[in-house]
Structure 1
Amino acid sequence: MSFQIDFKGEKVIQATEQQTILDAALAAGIPHYHACGGKGECTTCRVLVLEGKEQLSELTSYERSIIAALGLPDNMRLACQSKVRGDGVKVHRLIKDDTDHYIFTNGDEEGITEVMGVRRKLALFFIDIRNFTPFIESHLPFDVIHIMRRIFTLLRNAIEQYEGRIIDTAGDGLYAVFGLEARIRSAAESAVLAGLKILEDVKIFNNTYMRPYFSHSFEVGIGVHVGKVIYGNVGIGLNNNLTVMGYPVNIAARLQAATKEVNNSFVISEQAYALLRNPPYAAGSAHLNLKGVTRAFEVKLIGKPYQHAHVPVPEKV
């Protein structure tokens, strides 16, 4: 006798009473991770049971030990140990590729060196994820947090590849700086290269992961500016993170927010753009009226128009 297993966002497969969920998934062509070879000695094959928990076999001793050690929820099962005893089982495979594997097994953050009270010219980089609210409203809490972690891993990899440092995250956005150990010209170029890489990586992520598994896609808005700021550790004992303060930080944040106004995913100040030895193609320029800035602020548009909302580019003033 065989029963159906619905792998959320992937396919519905058949499993016999003798097969584990892992065996059935592999037989059906689902590339289910099982680092230990399906021996119950790791957790890479774990699945979140969304429906039909009562239709699964009893927890094995391996599962009990791992659940107790890691404090996993009671609807988490090891696919290599669980067998189906009836229809109506729906599961969510947690680790779908190498990036997922890294997140779930090597996600510890590295410590950062404490830096005390320095004034320095830096490139300020703000990024915000577009189209995230609709995703939050229509998906499970696990999906929301997991996808957020996926995207932030993507952002972090690009930023760190070009020697940037993430300073803070807020909601579905983050703030980074470039130039802690480089001159301002190199810092500006690194910030732009990181931003362009993120735009391409998000496009690939949408095509290979978000659309196939979640029928959704994201866009981002990036703002970059340069200027002299103060950075250091404020010493309140939270995460030992750097704090960066100054007027240019506010400008960079407002440029990121202005990406909606100018309908372009990457807005860079004219000051930062002028530092680039090999500047990327600019679709145009604009003069923005930014809060706290007395005169119109000139920027270059080096990203792409948004796909989900088209807003006319304001005329120069």
Structure 2
Amino acid sequence: MPFQIDFRGEKAVPVAEGQTILEASLAAGIPHYHACGGKGQCTTCRVLVLEGEENLSQLTSYEKAIKGVRKFPDNVRLACQTHVMGEGVSVQRLIKDDLDRHIFINEAEENITEVMGERRKLALFFIDIRNFTPFIESHLPFDVIHIMRRVFALFRNAIELYNGQIIDTAGDGLYAVFGLKTSIKKAAEAAVLTGLKILDDIKIFNNTYMRPYFNHTFEVGIGVHVGKVIYGNVGIGLSNNLTVMGFPVNIAARLQAATKELNNSFVISERTFRMLKNPPYAVGCDYINLKGVSSAYEVKLIGKPYHTKPAPLTEEV
């Protein structure tokens, strides 16, 4: 007796008698990864079972062997080894494209070069994801963490392309520096080029991944400043963690936060703008007040207005 299986965010697929989930999805035109050819010898066809786990076939010997090594949770199955035995089964593919495959089947992280206690001029880069809270509130924990990993991989690729160094992450934002091995002018150029690339990459990501699979889009806020800071390892034994400290860091963070009130996705200090050999078009300049600075701080707006204007900030009770 044929059944249906729902591929969450994609479509419902009929499953003929004797077909595996993988065979059914491929027959329905879903580009389901199966690097080993559906022989149970890899894990690229794995799915997350959202509903109807009781209506799936028992684990095969291949699944038991792989689960023993990879320590997969019980609700992760290999599509090539699993048959549907009843209605009400809903699953989600875990590997939808090459980048997913890289994330889930990952090589070891690169070592971070340790730099001890240097004072130097760096370009400071802060970025934060806008409108992420509605996504958190309406999606599964797996979706939230997975999309965070996707977006942060996008950030990281752009930052490393221009020889930046990620220093810290916090919530749905991160902080990076440029100029560890170059002049401050080249560092400023690299930070701005990174931001512009991320804005383009986010647009592509929204059109090719977020809208088709999640009916949602993201925007980001980016702030860049340059200045003399202290860069080094604080020596607390947390995976060789590095830190950058100084007042310019606070300014860069404030510029990123100011993207909301200025309604522009990319805000840089006027000092940074003057260092650029080929500055991008600035839609305007503005002035913001910074704590500890007596006069208003001049900034350049080099991004675009948000599609959804951020709600005004409210004071916490």
Change (3 A) 1:278 1:44: same
Alignment match, 1:69? 69
The structure 1 segments of at least 4 consecutive aligned residues displaced by more than 2 Å after TM superposition are none
**8 Å CA contact 1:17, 1:85 repeated in 2:** no
Matched to 1:90, the amino acid is S
**8 Å CA contact 1:33, 1:45 repeated in 2:** yes
**SS of corresponding position for 1:274:** helix
Q: Normalized against structure 2, the TM-score is what?
A: 0.97
Alignment match, 1:217? 217
Alignment match, 2:16? 16
Q: CA RMSD in A?
A: 1.1
1:252 equivalent in alignment to 2:281: no
Calculate percent identity across the aligned residue pairs: 76
| CA distance in 2: counterparts of 1:133 and 1:109, whole angstroms | 29
1:106 equivalent in alignment to 2:114: no
Alignment match, 1:27? 27
| CA distance in 1: counterparts of 2:230 and 2:103, whole angstroms | 33
- Map 1:1-317 → 2, pairs under 5 A: 1-106=1-106, 108-309=108-309
Q: Deviation string for 1:78-100 (max 9, x for gaps)? A: 00000111111100001000110
Q: Deviation string for 1:16-59 (max 9, x for gaps)? A: 12111001111100000011111111111000000111111110
| CA distance in 1: counterparts of 2:113 and 2:167, whole angstroms | 13
Structure 1 residues not aligned, in runs of 5+: 313-317
| CA distance in 2: counterparts of 1:280 and 1:213, whole angstroms | 33
Number of residue-to-residue matches in the alignment? 312
Q: Deviation string for 1:112-145 (max 9, x for gaps)? A: 1111011110000000000110000000000000
Change (3 A) 1:162 1:298: same
| CA distance in 2: counterparts of 1:124 and 1:310, whole angstroms | 24
| CA distance in 2: counterparts of 1:169 and 1:107, whole angstroms | 21
**SS of corresponding position for 1:80:** helix
**8 Å CA contact 1:263, 1:311 repeated in 2:** no
Change (3 A) 1:4 1:302: same
Structure 2 residues not aligned, in runs of 5+: 313-317
Q: Normalized against structure 1, the TM-score is what?
A: 0.97
Q: Deviation string for 1:247-283 (max 9, x for gaps)? A: 1000000000000010000000000000001000000
